[in-house]
Amino acid sequence: MKISLTQPSYRSTIWIQVESSDVCCIIYTSVTFDPYERLYIWLGQIRESELPASMVIHEEGDSVELIAERTSNEMILFRIDSWMYGDDTATHLATTVKPCELVKAFHDGITAFLKDEYRPSDWSLVNNLTNINWSALLKSPTLPGQNWQKRLLISNLRAYDGKIEHSEDPQDRASWKQLTREQQWSIVLRDVLDKIAMIALYNKTPDIQALANLYRNLPVDIALGEIDPDWYQKRRVVLNKEYELDKLRSFSQEKKEGRSILKTTRLKMLRVGQIVDGTVKKIKPYGLIVDIGGVNALLRIFAISQMPVDQLDLVFKHDDWIRAMIVWMDIEKGRVSLSTSDLEVEPGDMLKEPWKVYETAEAMADRYYQNVLSKQELD
């Protein structure tokens, strides 16, 4: 088995190509594959045979799940399943492999990508791809140093001066208690670095300097086991009064929560068969990302017209207005799929005279909805 990662000319995508003896499958995912840390954890589960292990890749593009499950004591079934559409149950790849072979294939693919393909300057966000100790995955399971379980536990927690931050989840609190004090304060240090990066976006140099000076000796305190929580907490209170360090975090959190509530409210107002107006935000090889009032919906390339579409960028431009019909929704996952091909009176109308499709959209949607109801009655 061979796993290859490539970065095409448009920087917002990575291709993961899986080649086995009888099939080749390509997965499209965002370069902010969120996060690569999860891939490390997923591979750690496979390495130690904690199966089934599954990982979902669900950025704006094709939504797939990578699944490894046991078939015998020595072999696993590795498959890639799509779950973007409720009625799509196709398995795009299914091959039997030893756990160690699958881990090595991913490890080799990632290290080759970092060496030959990875171009940090082309990436839109700071990422932690190169900060993962991928070589640890190839150590013998009997050797110490493979800490994917702790990495999984730690990656889900946020801390503030030695205390778990704003979590009422009993599982989070139980996980926090499993950590040593040094590990807890390592999370504090990680979150401080995140805070500094956030403040830097606003060019607040004095704030950055004050926060960095406060925690500059924390790595040494952690290493020596000489952490004084009271000192850090008192100093943080003083700095907060002077620099309002937490104001930025609170504002960002409130803004994020507000957007989430608005998006959920918008989703609850939508229904399958509804005509929506939207704006083309992204043009991808597999279709269009359309903003339909604060919710990103996917109009796949095969759902645009009943005639084949070869080059999307010749048909649509960024910020184009578009009318489409909702054909599938998952409110919990915040996913909406659209179709314009079902609105065509004649095949190819969307490619030649889209205004005709838009003018008759409601009538065609009613016809589509009645056909769906008729099929349900027959079933």
Q: What is the CATH number of the domain that holds 373?
A: 2.40.50.140
Tokens, residue 237:
């209170």
Q: Are 227 and 274 within one domain? A: no
**pLDDT at residue 347, rounded to an integer:** 92
Decide if 7 is inside a domain. Answer: yes
Q: Are 102 and 59 within one domain? A: yes
Decide if 207 is inside a domain. Answer: yes
Q: Are 312 and 215 within one domain? A: no
3-state secondary structure 305-363: CCCCCCCHHHHCCCCCEEEEEEEEEECCCCEEEEECHHHCCCCCHHHHCHHHHHHCHHH
Q: Tens-of-pLDDT digits for all 379 residues of the chain?
A: 898 888 765 555 677 888 887 777 777 665 445 446 677 888 888 888 888 888 876 544 456 778 899 888 789 999 887 644 444 444 567 888 999 899 999 888 888 887 887 766 555 444 555 656 777 777 655 554 456 677 777 777 878 766 776 566 677 788 888 888 888 888 888 888 878 877 776 777 888 888 888 888 888 888 888 888 888 888 888 888 887 766 655 445 555 555 677 777 888 888 888 999 999 988 887 889 898 887 889 998 889 999 988 888 888 888 899 999 998 888 877 789 999 999 999 999 999 899 999 999 988 888 877 776 566 555 5
Q: Are 103 and 27 within one domain? A: yes
User: How far is it, in rounded angstroms, from Cα 254 to Cα 11?
Assistant: 30
Last residue of a domain, one of 108, 129, 150: 129
Q: Are 343 and 284 within one domain? A: yes
β-strand 321-330 against 2-6: which pairing, if any? Answer: unpaired
Phi, psi of 83 (to 5 degrees): -135, 25
Decide if 118 is inside a domain. Answer: yes
Q: Are 9 and 119 within one domain? A: yes
Residue 294: other Cβ atoms inside 10 A: 11
Decide if 149 is inside a domain. Answer: no
Q: Are 309 and 344 in contact (CB under 8 A)?
A: no
**In whole angstroms, how far apart are CA 242 and each of 88, 191, 212, 253?**
56, 20, 15, 21
Domain harbouring 28, CATH code? 3.30.2450
Q: Are 10 and 56 within one domain? A: yes
Q: Are 7 and 124 within one domain? A: yes
Owning domain of residue 67: 2-129
pTM: 0.48
Last residue of a domain, one of 256, 279, 306: 256
**pLDDT at residue 343, rounded to an integer:** 93
Last residue of a domain, one of 211, 233, 256: 256
Could you write out the DSSP letters of every residue in 274-315?
-EEEEEEEEEETTEEEEESSS-EEEEEGGGT-SS--S-HHHH
Q: Are 281 and 334 within one domain? A: yes
Q: Are 86 and 53 within one domain? A: yes
User: How far is it, in rounded angstroms, from Cα 275 to Cα 365?
Assistant: 7
**pLDDT at residue 125, rounded to an integer:** 47
Q: Can you tell me whether residue 273 is helix, strand or coil?
A: coil
Q: Are 12 and 93 within one domain? A: yes
Decide if 103 is inside a domain. Answer: yes
Decide if 134 is inside a domain. Answer: no
Decide if 277 is inside a domain. Answer: yes
Q: Are 120 and 20 within one domain? A: yes
Decide if 188 is inside a domain. Answer: yes
For the chain, how many structural domains are there in total?
3
Q: Are 7 and 99 in contact (CB under 8 A)?
A: no
